[in-house]
Chain A
């Protein structure tokens, strides 16, 4: 009995250690596929004004209780953090598609987890659409 107990304990510990060791190497790993993640995190808007889009993204993030950490007009990115007992970090990038559309992509991290649920992203784009008075279209 004692032997069995030792074996089971060692196995469980080994599993935990394995999980930690392999996770440290997988710095580019996500649960969802690259294509699916892009579709969850991206929307297209009918506007050609990139600066207005960036400013509206910043205003929307402030509405969602974020404090902006950084923005780069040249690159078209905005990063922000929300503290509410938890730490939620988000980066939003804006890039033109053709002359008449903007592609907006956001990716968020909740504490130590990458956010891969579609729902929070949907909520973010709903808030952004309201601020822009424009409809968010799926990215294909």
Chain B
């Protein structure tokens, strides 16, 4: 390689470092309602025939505790409970991969959830729960950060909540 070519390539590499500092801008639709939002809302919401918001929040907190979540924050006046859960997501397959090939595998998951109650009228209250999760691999690198959209998780949660509302209402 000639000196000139070497010089140009070194300068290009250094300039590219400068450009890396300029990060991509916010996606155009990051704060816009998506066409899926109504469907998501239906999946994440159930309506309860009660006007007792505190009872509903108490029952919800109990379900979160049943499911291994830690309550991080709550604001009864806005009908909010924020909770998180850490989980080991290592699977046998991942360990096998690691020992044979040294390939990274998913190891740790942190789940963030917010549960919100909202009175619709004098007799009905809507409960909506949403989940985000972050997953790190065994090298400590973040490999996933996204919303959890599996319908089964929401169905399971609301099945547990219905039971809990019954138990709470009957002080069991």
Contact = CB atoms under 8 A, between A and B. Distances in A.
A51 B77 contact: yes
A5 interface: yes
Interface string B14-33: 11011001010111111111
Nearest to A15: B18
B78 A58 contact: yes
Interface stretch (B37-45, B59-67, B154-162): B37-45
Contacts of B27: 86
Contact of A120 (B31, B75, B118): B31
A115 B26 CA distance: 7
A102 interface: no
A85 B128 CA distance: 23
A83 B146 contact: yes
Classify chain A: how many residues form its interface, as a range. Answer: 35 or more
What's the dominant secondary structure at chain B's contact region?
mixed
A108 B23 contact: no
Contacts of A37: none
Interface of A: 1-2, 4-5, 8-9, 12-13, 15-16, 19, 51, 54-55, 58-59, 62-73, 78, 80-88, 90, 108, 110-113, 115, 117, 119-121, 123-124, 126-127, 130
27 contacts: A9-B10, A55-B116, A58-B80, A59-B118, A64-B32, A67-B114, A67-B131, A68-B130, A69-B73, A81-B112, A82-B147, A83-B132, A83-B133, A83-B147, A84-B30, A86-B30, A88-B31, A108-B26, A112-B23, A113-B23, A113-B25, A117-B26, A120-B32, A121-B31, A123-B32, A124-B31, A126-B33
Interface of B: 3-4, 6-7, 10-11, 14-15, 17-18, 21, 23, 25-34, 37, 40-41, 44, 73, 75, 77-80, 82, 112-114, 116, 118, 128, 130-134, 145-147
